[in-house]
Amino acid sequence: MNRPTYLEINKTKFINNINKIKEYVGYKELMPVIKANGYGTYINKCIDIVNMFNIVAVARVDEAIELRNIGYNGEIFLLNQASILELDDIYKYDITIGISDITFIKSITNPVNCHLEIETGMNRTGVKVKDLDTVIDIINNNPNINICGIYTHFSSADDSSDYTNYQINNFREAYNKLKSIYNLKYVHCSASNGLMNYKIDFTNLVRPGLIMYGYETFTGSNNIIPVEAIATLKSQITFLKEVDEGEAISYSRRYITDSTRRIATIPIGYADGLRRSMTNTGYVLVNNTKCKIVGSVCMDSCMIDVTNVDCKVGDTVYIFDNKNITLEDIATIYNTINYEVLCTISDRIKRKFIEE
């Protein structure tokens, strides 16, 4: 790995986070959500980490295939409703799938383990409670389907107890109907926000996502489970120059110096996931000093003002260090959430794994 820009992933902190989550949820099994390349961390590519779990969750069939190809032999659960076109791969790679679409259910021709998804208020995918009898009949007429679990998704477990309790009640109604019909190995509804905010007595599995990676899923969530951020995004100064007063920096002359300034170039840009909205608004960290990004962020690089910093070519630059500059700071500039900041770091950025 020669490029000086990389995402450093601390595996020790990840394992510590898992242990804290286990302690909090007690008897319930963890099914870590490692979709989207482990929320951009690539932790899903570490077989020693993945092998810590009996079951893991992904969003796409190709993500499950990759896990099989690196040697994971445990259960892989596909959270999202798959396409009929993916059925052959589902059979071949022994993928447990979430199902809710009737046409898809009728198209299953080989034995497959399934979790029936219940629509309780998210209105994305799932079977509504009022339609369960019809769907049960269709499932029971297909001997290739083994219903070994049921699940649902909460939409507002971070900010609406009334709506989440409404969803829990819907899910409980479905569970009461299905528990005597199928041997339900897994009953699950809680992702990160749900597992922290609700104690649900009839479920036995939780689906931690962002909290495994050490980031808050809502303000104050770290007070409930004190996880540590596992990722830091680093680069280096590759060029230094003095720019006279009145000179323009970068494309479209969006920054004009108001005095003589010392400007550094760092090799990270919008093709790497550092958005152009950081232009003249964002900061990076150089030698414990916050330095403003000046001029338009380029595709492969950006410029920063280091006038008041003792620095040289080769010095480390933190895009975020989780203390002085956090994912939440960047998300505020992007007008988005910390999930998206982490997930959209480009695959041009290499991941470097460390252990303490």
Query: What stretches of 227-323 adopt beta strand conformation (E)?
Result: 231-236, 239-243, 248-249, 255-256, 261-266, 283-286, 289-294, 302-305, 316-320
Residue 29: φ, ψ to 5°: -75, 150
Q: Are strands 6-10 and 350-354 parallel, antiparallel or unpaired?
A: parallel
Residue 146: φ, ψ to 5°: -110, 105
Q: Output the CA angle 162-338-206, nearest 5 degrees.
A: 50
What is the DSSP annotation of 155-204? S-TTT-HHHHHHHHHHHHHHHHHHTTTS--SEEEEE-HHHHHH---TT--
Q: Please report, to the nearest 10 degrees, the dihedral formed by the alpha carbons of residues 211, 213, 217, 222 taken in order.
A: 60
The residues carrying an active-site annotation are 35, 251
- Tokens (6 digits) for 295: 């001029």
- Contacts (Cβ under 8 Å, ≥6 apart) of 266: 5, 235, 236, 237, 238, 284, 301, 302, 303, 304, 317
**Exposed, middle or buried by CB within 10 Å (0-12, 13-18, 19+), for 49?**
buried
- Rg over CA atoms, the chain: 24
Q: How far apart are CA 233 and CA 351, in angstroms?
A: 9
* Residue 116 host element (H or E): strand 112-119
Query: How many residues are given for the chain?
Result: 356
The DSSP secondary-structure symbol of 356 reads -
The DSSP secondary-structure symbol of 247 reads -
What is the DSSP annotation of 138-158? HHHT-TTEEEEEEE---S-TT
Spatial contact of 5 and 236, defined as CB atoms under 8 Å apart: yes
